[in-house]
């Protein structure tokens, strides 16, 4: 994959005192997005509701991270991890996400995700780890062209 946009490298920092919250239906379509999620992702609420949550999937994320996430959710367990997300303007933001089921009368009805900021060291480590994971499985090696 080749990216030409220089804005691809612009990071949006998640503020310390805010939570990015979203919910999806069982198929992963967004049913709720809080104001912070809209602000940080650069999308309006209207642009997010009803869309697949992969709308913010960053190409630096290895596929296996999400197969692991869905496997964990199918087993009705909580998934936690560092996630690099893509903004509408192609910038990025890093979060620590905790994703789990929403239950109504004991029945699984939706999924929810709560996200908080992460440290610079965790960003560097996660980037390195995810680069290695993608390389191992031959996906998405970034090639940047300067013009």
Ligand X SMILES: Cc1cc2nc3c(=O)[nH]c(=O)nc-3n(C[C@H](O)[C@H](O)[C@H](O)COP(=O)(O)O)c2cc1C
Phi, psi values for residue 57, rounded to 5°:
-70, 130
For position 134 contacting ligand X by CB under 6 A, the verdict is no
Contact status: 56 vs ligand X (CB under 6 A):
yes
Annotate 37-48 with b (16+ C-beta within 10 A) or e (fewer). bbebbbbeeeeb
Give the pair of three-digit tokens for residue 67: 């197969």
Contact between 99 and ligand X by CB under 6 A: the answer reads: yes
C-beta neighbour count of 144 within 10 angstroms: 11
Kindly state the smallest distance separating residue 146's Cβ from ligand X, in Å. Answer: 27
Stretch that binds ligand X, among 4-12, 107-115, 117-125, 133-141 (CB under 6 A): 107-115
Binds ligand X by CB under 6 A, chosen from 14, 40, 93, 113: 113
Nearest to 86 by CA among 23, 11, 140: 11
Q: Min. distance of Cβ 98 from ligand X in angstroms?
A: 10
List phi, psi (to 5°) of 90: 75, 5
The single residue among 51, 88, 90, 112 that binds ligand X, judged by CB under 6 A, is 112
Count of residues binding ligand X (CB under 6 A)?
Answer: 16
Q: Interface with ligand X by CB under 6 A: which range of 7-15, 111-119, 120-128, 134-142?
A: 111-119
Whether 26 and 75 have beta carbons less than 8 Å apart is answered as no
Q: Which residues bind ligand X (CB under 6 A)?
A: 22, 24, 28, 53-54, 56-57, 61, 66, 69, 83, 85, 99, 111-113
């Amino acid at each position: 994959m080749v990216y030409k946009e220089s804005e691809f490298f612009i990071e949006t920092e998640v503020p310390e005192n805010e939570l990015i919250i979203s919910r999806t239906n069982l198929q992963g379509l967004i049913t709720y997005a809080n104001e912070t999620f809209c602000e940080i992702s650069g999308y309006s609420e209207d642009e997010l509701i009803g869309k697949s949550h992969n709308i913010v999937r960053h190409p630096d994320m290895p596929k296996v991270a999400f197969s692991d996430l869905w496997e964990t959710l199918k087993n009705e367990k909580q998934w936690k991890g560092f996630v690099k997300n893509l903004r509408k303007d192609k910038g990025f933001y890093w979060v620590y996400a905790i994703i789990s089921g929403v239950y109504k009368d004991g029945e699984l009805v939706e999924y929810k995700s709560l996200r908080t900021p992460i440290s610079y060291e965790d960003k560097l480590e996660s980037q390195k780890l995810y680069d290695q994971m993608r390389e191992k499985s031959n996906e998405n090696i970034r090639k940047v062209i300067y013009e």
